[in-house]
């Protein structure tokens, strides 16, 4: 019996990723209709090239942000400030590099990266303090930094777009290492680190416990405050790296627009990946699939040639469909014989059904 | 008893969950004007049968006839409209609404879309009078005791011309007097011709109020009997499916050995410990190998005492000494660091993380003690969990089952296991046998005795005085949030303690 039970269980967990993966594949196939060599990957000038590579490469910042968001949401929180952190970190790094005599100095770039990520940690600590220390609702606590952070980013860039010309910095978001885009490697590394950190230690279970039942966790002796702070710090750190990737890729920092609305895409990626907004169980693998799905969707919108003014609507439509298909209740309604509307009619209908076939 | 037509007849009910056959081919019938006990061990399928009836679950097979007509409800609301109401163990009302509002919430009488408040109030008052309850319909529900709130839940259930009333373990959080009140109402409703289905693990209650008993075991029907014709020993035999040896074991009182090995200084001692509004400053010392029982009515401060000792609430006064040294117990973490464990009575809100598995829930406190960076090796986890699944007979014996899907009694055992594996020096048990079947209850009682024999100090809280008296070396009595007296348990009887509880003075 135990064997069959665990069989069922693994069938269930597999099914959790079944729909997002299927839809991702369908999206990719749809692209194939419009771009025949969509699946082609080649090495050009020592670099990997291809549409699939582009999806992962451009999706890397979203994967980073969604990764941190997954852990925050697992504790029944939410972090709306990630977009602002993306902007702040990109702005600070670019400001520092633009102030260097030699923008190509590796030491200068490393300092810039260090400063930016250090600031990200501080910002995460601030969020964590508001949520766990002050006891503010996560949505309000992070809204503060979401709004104030944009202002801070504009202060750093002085309202301008800072443009830089630094080869080492360009590596982060736009460069290649061993033929592979560096940002992909970064994202992979971060995902691997997060998985190891949560699943090889007890951190994952404790996070799920705090998100599943905060009071019970406290009474079980879990230091939920420390865990919540850690999670917000990690999330801000991930957003910081995403900010570096984005600004590096375009060699400039735009306090207004960098990372704009990325928090919403990230939340969406997490939910599509099967982590509930109500906290508890989380799936990092699911989040990665969710982020790729969203990025693939953006790519598809361009290749299919959806008119620009309707792209947002189109995106909303697809996302709605994805969410509906994922909902077991909805699938049951549409695909299966429905429960009968009323009890007495029920019995009658039942006899009918049995007679009919 | 002459047999009128059954008001409810369920035949061949089958319900399967992934990997668990919760009900197989169960028949159950209910007659108007009777109280019918549904009995069985933890996980036997009692709650599932009720949920199959009220449409919480879709059944896989079988037929349900209500007054001769086949029905299949889509949910409790529809069942209620057809006259089948359920009062759950966990009261799911809103404490910050008035009594009247709670009775009518979700189905307020309206005219032209506007709620008719006057009518609500009048009908609520009528209902409460019908149940002979002295409650103000306009007062906030939260101001009344749990027992009264339960009565309000009943009023809510019978309002819609109920024909069938279902109680799933309503008495597990009530004390003796409150149970009496509930039984009075049950008898009255029965006299009005309502059919009542009653789930309980208390055998004496079965004999006190029920007319008929149906017993389930492992999801199968064992039999239906008239209560008056069924000896208690036979009832237990039907439930656990074993014959005499086990029954003898059950009867054998797990009377604790005298605490010979008491050290001079207590393991944990509270002096003038108190919290404003919760419990007045008290002194209490618990020695190695000693079981201290806390007696008192619901709301007398039993749980508050436990929470203060565990640091779940902050004390406003006094101090706690562990092994003679004063320690700061600021929160559960620090209490645990000093070897104190607390198994809460509210397993759903303060105990279990229902989305996690049995294994994860059991190792949670131990893991919290070790910190996140030192995970308990998988092999060790499995050893520990298997040991306690066996020792407490948790069924199904599947460590990877999500706790939400366990039966109520088995959830309670998981919570108990969580604290046992931390091997505390002082174990505080708040209603550890609530919702637990007879067999497992005796087993838990025996476990408490053997833990104490092994040197653990235990603070034992239970609404069941017999249980407290049976296990404790020392008894502390609480009344109105004051610890009124503390006495050695040398032949103290229930009446004596009751008198202290009633009078508030050591007699
Ligand atoms: N949603 C579910 N998913 C999977 N298994 C379930 C679910 N609900 C109940 N079960 C299983 O069905 C069996 C019967 O459970 P049920 O809750 O009916 O027991 P019970 O007789 O009410 O026990 P108790 O006295 O402990 O309340 C148990 O083995 C339980 O684990
Ligand atoms: Mg039950």
Cβ of B43 closer than 6 Å to ligand 1, yes or no, is yes
pLDDT computed for residue B498 by the predictor: 85
Average pLDDT over every residue of A322-343: 63
> HSE-up of A285 (CA within 13 Å, CB side)?
8
Instruction: List the single best residue of B73, B358, B364 to mutate versus A (max A Cβ within 10 A).
Output: B364
Higher local confidence (pLDDT), A263 or A16: A263
Residue A37 lies in a domain: no
**β-strand pairing of B457-461 with B110-111:** unpaired
* pLDDT at position A2 over 60: no
Q: Can you point out the beta strands (E) in B175-307?
A: 195-199, 212-217, 220-226, 268-275, 279-286, 291-295
Question: Is the Cα dihedral B481, B485, B487, B492 positive or negative?
Answer: negative
Which residue segment(s) compose the domain that A191 sits in? Answer: 47-305
Same domain as B150, residue B181: no
Average pLDDT over every residue of A145-166: 93
- How far apart are the C-alpha atoms of B432 and B333, rounded to whole Å? 21
Same domain as A314, residue A252: no
pLDDT computed for residue A138 by the predictor: 96
Facing A223 at nearest CB: one of B55, B333, B354: B333
Using pLDDT thresholds of 50, 70 and 90, give the confidence band for residue A23: confident
For B166-178, give one letter per residue: b (16+ CB within 10 A) or e: bbbbbbbbbbeeb
- How far apart are the C-alpha atoms of A171 and A191, rounded to whole Å? 19
> Strand, coil or helix: what is B192?
coil
Residue A12 lies in a domain: no
Residue nearest to atom 9 of ligand 1 (CA): B405
For residue A275, give both structure tokens.
């982590």
Mean pLDDT of chain A: 87
Same domain as A296, residue A337: no
* Ligand 1 atom showing the smallest separation from residue B395 Cα: 29
Same domain as A341, residue A208: no
Using pLDDT thresholds of 50, 70 and 90, give the confidence band for residue B384: very high
Question: By CB neighbour count within 10 A (0-12 exposed, 13-18 middle, 19+ buried), where does A309 fall?
Answer: exposed
Q: How far is CA A253 from the centre of its chain?
A: 21
Using one digit for the tens of pLDDT, what is the confidence trace for A210-219? Answer: 999 999 999 9
Dihedral pair phi/psi, residue B171, rounded to 5°: -95, -5
Using pLDDT thresholds of 50, 70 and 90, give the confidence band for residue A190: very high
Q: Does A332 touch chain B (CB under 8 A)?
A: no
Q: Does A355 touch chain B (CB under 8 A)?
A: no
* pLDDT at position B15 over 60: yes
Instruction: Note the ligand closest to the C-alpha atom of B200.
Output: 1
Average pLDDT over every residue of B49-77: 92
* pLDDT at position A356 over 50: no
For residue B175, give both structure tokens.
């004390």
CATH number of the structural domain spanning residue A157: 1.10.3470
Q: What is the pTM of this model?
A: 0.86
Using one digit for the tens of pLDDT, what is the confidence trace for A136-148? Answer: 999 999 999 999 9
Q: Which residues contact A352 (CB under 8 A, 6 or more apart)?
A: none
Residue B251 lies in a domain: no
Using pLDDT thresholds of 50, 70 and 90, give the confidence band for residue B277: confident
pLDDT computed for residue B104 by the predictor: 85
Give the DSSP letter of residue B98. Answer: B
Q: What percent of chain B has pLDDT over 90?
A: 50
Average pLDDT over every residue of A327-341: 61
Average pLDDT over every residue of A160-183: 92
Using pLDDT thresholds of 50, 70 and 90, give the confidence band for residue B499: confident
Q: Which of A60-74, A105-119, B48-62, B157-171 has the lowest mean pLDDT?
A: B157-171
Same domain as A339, residue A194: no
Residue B430 lies in a domain: yes
Cβ of B214 closer than 6 Å to ligand 1, yes or no, is no
pLDDT computed for residue B1 by the predictor: 46
pLDDT computed for residue A352 by the predictor: 35
pLDDT computed for residue B185 by the predictor: 86
- Are the beta carbons of B292 and B286 closer than 8 angstroms? yes
Same domain as B371, residue B326: yes
> Structurally, how many domains does chain B consist of?
3
Average pLDDT over every residue of B72-82: 89
Using one digit for the tens of pLDDT, what is the confidence trace for B214-238? Answer: 999 999 999 999 999 999 888 888 8
Same domain as B34, residue B3: yes
Q: What is the 3-state secondary structure (H, E, C) of chain A?
A: CHHHHHHHHHHHHHHHHHHHHHHHHHHHHHHHHHCCCCCCCEEECCEEECHHHHHHHHHHHHHHHHHHHHHHHHCCCCCCCHHHHHHHHHHHHHHHHHCCCCCCCHHHHHHHHHHHHHHHHHHHHHHHHHHHHHCCCHHHHHHHHHHHHHHHHHHHHCCCEEECCCHHHHHHHHCEECCEEHHHHHHHHHHHHHHHHHHHCCHHHHHHHHHHCHHHHHHCCCCHHHHHHHHHHHHHHHHHHHHHHHHHHHCEEECCCCCCCHHHHHHHHHHHCCCCCCCCCCCHHHHHHHHHHHHHHHHHHHHHCCCHHHHHHHHHHHHHHHHHHHCHHHHHHHHCCCCCCCHHHHHHHHHHHHHCC
Instruction: List the single best residue of B355, B370, B376, B405 to mutate versus A (max A Cβ within 10 A).
Output: B355
Distance from CA of A230 to the nearest CA of B (A): 12
Cβ of B117 closer than 6 Å to ligand 1, yes or no, is no
pLDDT computed for residue A355 by the predictor: 33
Same domain as A320, residue A230: no
Q: Which of A46-50, B241-245, B397-401 has the lowest mean pLDDT?
A: B241-245
* Ligand 1 atom showing the smallest separation from residue B396 Cα: 29
Residue B253 lies in a domain: no
Average pLDDT over every residue of B350-373: 95
Same domain as B406, residue B447: yes
Q: Does A209 touch chain B (CB under 8 A)?
A: yes
What is the DSSP secondary-structure string of B364-420? HHHHHHH-TTSPPPHHHHHHHHHHHHHHTT-SS--TTSBGGGS-HHHHHHHHHHHHH
> Structurally, how many domains does chain A consist of?
2
Which residue segment(s) compose the domain that B283 sits in? Answer: 268-503
Higher local confidence (pLDDT), A338 or A109: A109
pLDDT computed for residue A87 by the predictor: 97
Q: Is B274 left (phi over 0), alpha (psi -120 to 50) or beta?
A: beta
Q: Does A111 touch chain B (CB under 8 A)?
A: no
* pLDDT at position B291 over 70: yes
Same domain as A190, residue A111: yes
> Would you call B375 and A6 a contact, using CB atoms and an 8 Å cutoff?
no
Show residues of chain B in contact with A221, CB under 8 Å: 332-333, 335-336, 365, 368-369
Using pLDDT thresholds of 50, 70 and 90, give the confidence band for residue B258: low
Q: Does A3 touch chain B (CB under 8 A)?
A: no
Q: How far is CA B63 from the centre of its chain?
A: 31
* pLDDT at position B146 over 90: no
Mean pLDDT of chain B: 87
Residue A35 lies in a domain: no
Q: Which residue has the tokens 């027992």?
A: B147
Mutate to test the pocket of ligand 1, among B37, B405, B440 (most ligand atoms within 8 A of CB): B405
pLDDT computed for residue A331 by the predictor: 73
Residue B88 lies in a domain: no
- How far apart are the C-alpha atoms of B393 and A295, rounded to whole Å? 50
pLDDT computed for residue A330 by the predictor: 78
Same domain as B135, residue B283: no
Facing A344 at nearest CB: one of B69, B331, B401: B69
pLDDT computed for residue B252 by the predictor: 52
- How far apart are the C-alpha atoms of B271 and B284, rounded to whole Å? 7
Higher local confidence (pLDDT), B118 or A225: A225
Mutate to test the pocket of ligand 1, among B14, B15, B39, B48 (most ligand atoms within 8 A of CB): B48
Same domain as B107, residue B52: no
- How far apart are the C-alpha atoms of B480 and B495, rounded to whole Å? 19
Same domain as A277, residue A262: yes
Give the DSSP letter of residue B228. Answer: G
> Would you call B18 and A5 a contact, using CB atoms and an 8 Å cutoff?
yes
Residue A220 lies in a domain: yes
Using pLDDT thresholds of 50, 70 and 90, give the confidence band for residue B243: low
* pLDDT at position A10 over 80: no
Residue A19 lies in a domain: no
Average pLDDT over every residue of B161-185: 82
pLDDT computed for residue A40 by the predictor: 86
CA angle, B96 then B100 then B103, to 5°: 95
Same domain as B130, residue B4: no
Mutate to test the pocket of ligand 1, among B14, B15, B16, B17 (most ligand atoms within 8 A of CB): B17
Distance from CA of A162 to the nearest CA of B (A): 42
- How far apart are the C-alpha atoms of B113 and B106, rounded to whole Å? 13
CATH number of the structural domain spanning residue B327: 3.40.50.300
Average pLDDT over every residue of B335-359: 93
Give distance in angstroms: CA of B391 to centre of ligand 1. Answer: 19
pLDDT computed for residue B141 by the predictor: 86
Same domain as A206, residue A337: no
* pLDDT at position B339 over 70: yes
Any idea how long chain A is? 357
For residue B403, give both structure tokens.
């706790």
Containing H/E element for B186? helix B176-191
Same domain as A333, residue A252: no
pLDDT computed for residue A8 by the predictor: 52
Facing A218 at nearest CB: one of B332, B398, B400: B332
Average pLDDT over every residue of A101-120: 95
Q: Does B344 touch chain A (CB under 8 A)?
A: yes
Q: What percent of chain A has pLDDT over 90?
A: 63
Same domain as B461, residue B362: yes
* pLDDT at position A3 over 70: no
Same domain as A312, residue A298: no
Using pLDDT thresholds of 50, 70 and 90, give the confidence band for residue B348: confident
Same domain as B197, residue B139: no
* pLDDT at position A101 over 50: yes
Residue A222 lies in a domain: yes
Same domain as A122, residue A90: yes
Q: Taking ligand 2, which is a single-atom ion, which protein residues have CB atoms under 5 Å away? A: B 47, 408
- How far apart are the C-alpha atoms of B236 and B242, rounded to whole Å? 9
Same domain as B65, residue B103: no
Same domain as B316, residue B172: no
Domain boundary among B245, B277, B295: B245
Using pLDDT thresholds of 50, 70 and 90, give the confidence band for residue B249: low
- How far apart are the C-alpha atoms of B381 and B496, rounded to whole Å? 46
Show residues of chain B in contact with A223, CB under 8 Å: 333, 368
> Would you call A344 and B370 a contact, using CB atoms and an 8 Å cutoff?
no
Radius of gyration of chain B (CA): 24
Residue A211 lies in a domain: yes
> Would you call B350 and A342 a contact, using CB atoms and an 8 Å cutoff?
no
**β-strand pairing of A47-49 with B220-226:** unpaired
Average pLDDT over every residue of B267-271: 93
Cβ of B20 closer than 6 Å to ligand 1, yes or no, is yes
Q: Does B399 touch chain A (CB under 8 A)?
A: no
Show residues of chain A in contact with B400, CB under 8 Å: 5-6, 9
Q: Does B19 touch chain A (CB under 8 A)?
A: yes
Same domain as A323, residue A242: no
Residue B145 lies in a domain: yes
Residue B196 lies in a domain: yes
For residue B484, give both structure tokens.
């009124």
Residue B410 lies in a domain: yes
Q: Is B451 left (phi over 0), alpha (psi -120 to 50) or beta?
A: alpha
Same domain as B114, residue B167: no
- How far apart are the C-alpha atoms of A68 and A74, rounded to whole Å? 10
- Are the beta carbons of B86 and B106 closer than 8 angstroms? no
- Are the beta carbons of B272 and B291 closer than 8 angstroms? no
Closest-CA residue in chain A for B310?
A: A219
Q: Which of A180-194, A339-353, B450-464 has the lowest mean pLDDT?
A: A339-353
pLDDT computed for residue B446 by the predictor: 86
- How far apart are the C-alpha atoms of B182 and B153, rounded to whole Å? 11
Cβ of B471 closer than 6 Å to ligand 1, yes or no, is no
């Amino acid at each position: 019996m135990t064997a069959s039970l665990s069989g069922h269980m693994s069938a269930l967990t597999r099914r959790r990723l079944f729909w997002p993966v299927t839809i991702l594949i369908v999206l990719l196939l749809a692209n194939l209709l419009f771009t025949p060599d969509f699946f082609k990957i080649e090495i050009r000038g020592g670099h990997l090239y291809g549409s699939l590579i582009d999806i992962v490469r451009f999706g890397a910042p979203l994967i980073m942000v969604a990764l941190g968001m997954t852990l925050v949401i697992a504790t029944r929180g939410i972090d709306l400030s990630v977009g602002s952190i993306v902007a702040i970190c990109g702005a600070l790094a670019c400001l520092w590099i633009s102030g260097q005599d030699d923008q190509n100095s590796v030491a200068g770039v490393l300092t810039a990266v260090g400063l930016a990520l250090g600031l990200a940690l501080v910002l995460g600590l601030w969020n964590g303090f508001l949520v766990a220390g002050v006891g503010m609702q996560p949505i309000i606590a992070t809204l503060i930094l979401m709004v104030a952070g944009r202002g801070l980013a504009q202060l750093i860039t002085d309202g301008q777009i800072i443009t830089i010309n630094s080869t080492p910095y360009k590596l982060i978001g736009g460069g290649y290492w061993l033929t592979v885009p560096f940002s992909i490697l970064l994202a992979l590394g971060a995902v691997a680190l997060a998985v190891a950190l949560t699943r090889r230690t007890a951190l994952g279970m404790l996070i799920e416990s705090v998100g599943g039942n905060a009071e019970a966790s406290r009474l079980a002796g879990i230091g939920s405050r420390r865990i919540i702070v850690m999670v917000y710090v990690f999330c801000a750190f991930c957003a910081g790296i995403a900010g570096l990737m984005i600004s590096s890729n375009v060699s400039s920092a735009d306090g207004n627009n960098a990372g704009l609305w990325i928090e919403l895409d990230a939340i969406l990626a997490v939910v599509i990946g099967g982590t509930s907004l109500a906290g508890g169980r989380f799936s990092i693998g699911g989040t990665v699939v969710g982020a790729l799905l969203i990025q693939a969707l953006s790519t598809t919108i361009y290749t299919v040639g959806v008119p620009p003014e309707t792209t947002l609507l189109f995106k909303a439509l697809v996302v709605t469909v994805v969410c509906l298909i994922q909902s077991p209740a909805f699938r049951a309604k549409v695909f299966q014989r429905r429960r009968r509307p009323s009890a007495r009619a029920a019995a009658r209908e039942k006899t009918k059904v049995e007679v009919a076939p | 008893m002459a047999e009128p037509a059954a008001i409810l007849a369920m035949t061949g009910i089958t319900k399967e969950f992934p990997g668990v056959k919760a009900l197989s081919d169960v028949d159950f019938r209910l007659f108007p004007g009777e109280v019918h006990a549904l009995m069985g061990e933890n996980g036997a399928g009692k709650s599932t049968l009720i949920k199959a009836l009220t449409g919480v679950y879709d059944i896989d097979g079988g037929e349900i006839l209500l007054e001769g007509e086949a029905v299949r409800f889509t949910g409790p609301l529809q069942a209620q409209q057809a006259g089948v109401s359920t009062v759950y163990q966990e009261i799911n009302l809103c404490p910050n609404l008035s009594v009247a509002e709670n009775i009518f919430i979700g189905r307020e009488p309206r005219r032209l879309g506007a709620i008719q408040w006057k009518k609500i109030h009048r009908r609520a008052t009528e209902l409460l009078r019908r149940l002979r309850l002295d409650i103000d319909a306009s007062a906030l529900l939260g101001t009344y005791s749990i027992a009264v709130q339960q009565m309000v839940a009943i009023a809510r259930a019978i309002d819609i011309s109920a024909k069938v009333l279902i109680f799933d373990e309503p008495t597990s959080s009530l004390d003796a007097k409150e149970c009496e009140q509930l039984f009075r109402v049950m008898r009255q409703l029965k006299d009005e011709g309502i059919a009542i289905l009653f789930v309980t693990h208390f055998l004496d209650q079965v004999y006190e109020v029920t007319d008929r008993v149906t017993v389930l075991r492992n999801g199968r029907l064992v039999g239906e009997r008239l209560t008056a014709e069924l000896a208690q020993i036979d009832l237990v035999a039907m439930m656990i499916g074993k014959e005499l040896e086990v029954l003898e074991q059950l009867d054998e009182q797990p009377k604790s050995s005298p605490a010979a090995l008491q050290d001079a200084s207590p393991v944990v001692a509270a002096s003038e410990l108190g919290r404003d509004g919760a419990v007045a400053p008290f002194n209490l010392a618990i020695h190695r190998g000693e079981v201290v029982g806390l007696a008192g009515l619901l709301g007398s401060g039993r749980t508050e005492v436990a929470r203060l000792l565990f640091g779940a609430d902050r004390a406003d006064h006094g101090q706690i000494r562990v092994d003679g040294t004063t320690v700061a117990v600021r929160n559960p973490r620090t209490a645990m660091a000093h070897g104190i464990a607390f198994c809460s009575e509210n397993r759903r809100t303060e105990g279990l993380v229902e989305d996690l598995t049995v294994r994860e829930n059991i190792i949670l406190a131990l893991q919290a003690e070790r910190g996140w960076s030192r995970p308990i090796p998988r092999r060790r986890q499995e050893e520990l969990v298997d040991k306690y699944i066996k020792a407490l007979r948790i069924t199904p014996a599947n460590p990877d089952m999500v706790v939400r899907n366990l039966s109520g009694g088995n959830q309670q055992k998981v919570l108990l296991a969580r604290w046992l594996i931390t091997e505390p020096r002082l174990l505080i048990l708040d209603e550890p046998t609530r919702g637990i079947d007879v067999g497992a209850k005796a087993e838990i009682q025996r476990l408490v005795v053997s833990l104490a024999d092994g040197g653990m100090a235990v603070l034992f809280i239970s609404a069941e005085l017999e249980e407290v008296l049976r296990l404790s070396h020392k008894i502390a009595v609480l009344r109105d949030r004051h610890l009124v007296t503390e006495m050695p348990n040398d032949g103290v009887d229930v009446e004596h303690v009751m008198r202290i509880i009633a009078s508030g003075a050591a007699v």
